[in-house]
Chain A
Amino acid sequence: MQELTQLKESPSQTAGPYVHIGCVPNFCDITGVYPEDLGARMVNAETKGERITVKGTIYDGTGTPLKDALVEIWQADAAGLYPGNDPRGAADPNFTGWGRKASDYDTGEWQFDTIRPGAVPFPDGRMMAPHISLLIVARGINIGLNTRMYFPDADNSADPLLTRIEHQNRVATLIAERETDGVYRFDIYLQGEKETVFLDV
């Protein structure tokens, strides 16, 4: 038999407890190497769109907050375009689309100051409800966990992802809570009764 010549993806390993050193060194007091941590700022004064804050805590299967997690988010701009390499067109040049934050050492809470994303199409042409993609890595997580955050004050009823979740009682795990005006809480449960829906993308 002939061999398929494709390479195999490098296998994942945990980011470990000291992920901060490489990804957010200023956060862990390694200063003077990089001027600021990549992903720390997503918007500037010129960014178009409604300013929002997204924050949350990640809990393990015992209900204990993770204080050593790293969260990355990736989202469209206010018009629904992704910065960088979106084939549909150029996004807002004053928006990075990408943010990276560590959980607070004491409370486990992480926070992003960003804008509300516009809607993005699914490949079949249906529009997906506005959402933010998240990647979670930490000690004890062997391969990064992908999930999505949706907004409680948007129409999510026809979203192609949410509607195909077989266990519809789990859809709520992907919908943020509105805390105050423009502030959304998206707590993530790695395991247990309230386990967040994680994605194989």
Chain B
Amino acid sequence: MSNGDLIQRDRLWHPPALTPDYKTSVARSPRHALLSLQNSDSELTGPTFGQNDIAEIDNDLILNYAKTGDPIGERIIVHGRVLDENARPVPNTLIEIWQANAGGRYRHKKDSYLAPIDPNFGGCGRTLTDDNGNYVFRTVKPGAYPWRNWVNNWRPAHIHFSVFGTAFAQRLITQMYFEGDPLIAKCPIVQSIPEQRAVDQLVAALDLNASLPLDSIAYKFDIVLRGRRSTFFENRPEGN
């Protein structure tokens, strides 16, 4: 297979490192400029995963931690496609998600929020995209969650996404938000993204067509990873 260079990351589209309204970024952001590096195999290859690595149930957060019954909360389906910037599907790529429960509480010892743990909800899921880049998860809609940033900051309902692609330099971690949530506009983490159009790209749309009547409501969330460049007049022995 050919490993053409990746389209460069548009760092005016992504959040910058230093976004002082998200306080933790102040001491955790480099002050020097990044060193630009031409892609080599070190960046253009990446880990690949197969069906052996994951189980059938891993994408079902309603069942994968169930002990005595189903978790409490709004039953949802989250589905979409992983595409590259050239609008080509990214097949067989690993997606991992994590989230709070319906009350906004994470199953994590550092989370001391007073909303209770749900005994039937773990909060992690993973799946591989199919041959057309499609994926699906079943879960409960996470609740909003308070955090110590400003005195009264609340995260919008969100699901964390981790996506691999085929190149280590395509690796992406992001968050999915829900259509219509009024907390999105108030959140310093969301607003670390400079452009509103880029924020909109992280808001999943309510998708009644994919909902299961009398069972689960659906949201559609497409993810775009970096694409490969095709350079017309570059002398590439393996072609474009």
Q: Could you tell me which A residues sit within 8 Å of B by CB distance?
A: 5-23, 25, 28-30, 32-34, 38-39, 60-62, 64, 66, 68, 72, 74, 76, 82-88, 96-98, 120-123, 128, 131, 133, 135, 137-146, 148, 161, 164-165, 170, 190-192, 195-201
Check if A195 sits within 8 Å of B37, measured CB to CB. Answer: no
- Give chain A residues whose Cβ lies under 8 Å from the Cβ of B227: 6-7
| Contacts beyond the supplied A6-B227, A14-B175, A87-B3: 17 A-B pairs with Cβ under 8 Å | A6-B7, A9-B13, A10-B201, A11-B199, A39-B47, A83-B48, A84-B47, A87-B2, A88-B41, A123-B38, A141-B25, A142-B25, A144-B171, A144-B173, A170-B32, A191-B27, A197-B35
Q: Could you tell me which B residues sit within 8 Å of A by CB distance?
A: 1-3, 7-11, 13-17, 19, 22, 24-32, 34-43, 45-49, 53-55, 58, 64-65, 83-87, 94, 96-99, 106-111, 122-126, 160, 162, 166, 168-169, 171-175, 189-190, 192-193, 197-199, 201-202, 223-227, 238
16 pairs from A and B in contact (CB 8 Å cutoff): A6-B227, A9-B13, A11-B198, A13-B15, A14-B192, A16-B175, A22-B98, A74-B47, A84-B47, A84-B48, A142-B14, A144-B171, A161-B35, A190-B27, A190-B28, A200-B34
- Asked whether A128 and B47 contact (CB < 8 A) given A30-B122, A191-B29, the answer is no
Q: Name the CB-closest residue of B to A69.
A: B28
Majority secondary structure, B binding face: loop
Q: Name the CB-closest residue of A to B198.
A: A11
Check if B40 sits within 8 Å of A96, measured CB to CB. Answer: no
Q: Name the CB-closest residue of B to A60.
A: B27
CA distance A108 to B142 in the complex (A): 29
CA distance A198 to B16 in the complex (A): 14
Q: Per a CB cutoff under 8 Å, which of A30, A74, A199 touches B124?
A: A30
- Give chain A residues whose Cβ lies under 8 Å from the Cβ of B172: 9-10, 12, 144
> A161 to nearest B CB, angstroms?
6
CA distance A70 to B229 in the complex (A): 30
> A16 to nearest B CB, angstroms?
6
**Which of B24, B53, B111, B227 has the most A CB atoms < 10 Å from its CB?**
B24
- Give chain B residues whose Cβ lies under 8 Å from the Cβ of A68: 110
Check if A139 sits within 8 Å of B24, measured CB to CB. Answer: yes
CA distance A105 to B43 in the complex (A): 30
- Give chain B residues whose Cβ lies under 8 Å from the Cβ of A32: 65
- Give chain A residues whose Cβ lies under 8 Å from the Cβ of B98: 18-19, 21-23
Q: Per a CB cutoff under 8 Å, which of B27, B54, B173 touches A140?
A: B27
- Give chain B residues whose Cβ lies under 8 Å from the Cβ of A196: 30
CA distance A72 to B106 in the complex (A): 23
CA distance A196 to B58 in the complex (A): 37
Check if B40 sits within 8 Å of A121, measured CB to CB. Answer: yes
Q: Per a CB cutoff under 8 Å, which of B14, B84, B96 touches A12?
A: B14
> B150 to nearest A CB, angstroms?
15
Check if B45 sits within 8 Å of A145, measured CB to CB. Answer: no
Check if A195 sits within 8 Å of B15, measured CB to CB. Answer: no
CA distance A63 to B99 in the complex (A): 30
- Asked whether A85 and B14 contact (CB < 8 A) given A21-B98, A201-B169, the answer is no
Check if B1 sits within 8 Å of A195, measured CB to CB. Answer: no
Check if A84 sits within 8 Å of B46, measured CB to CB. Answer: yes
- Asked whether A72 and B171 contact (CB < 8 A) given A30-B124, A200-B34, the answer is yes
Query: Which 8 interchain pairs have the tightest Cβ spacing?
Result: A22-B98, A140-B24, A140-B28, A98-B47, A82-B45, A142-B15, A200-B34, A21-B98
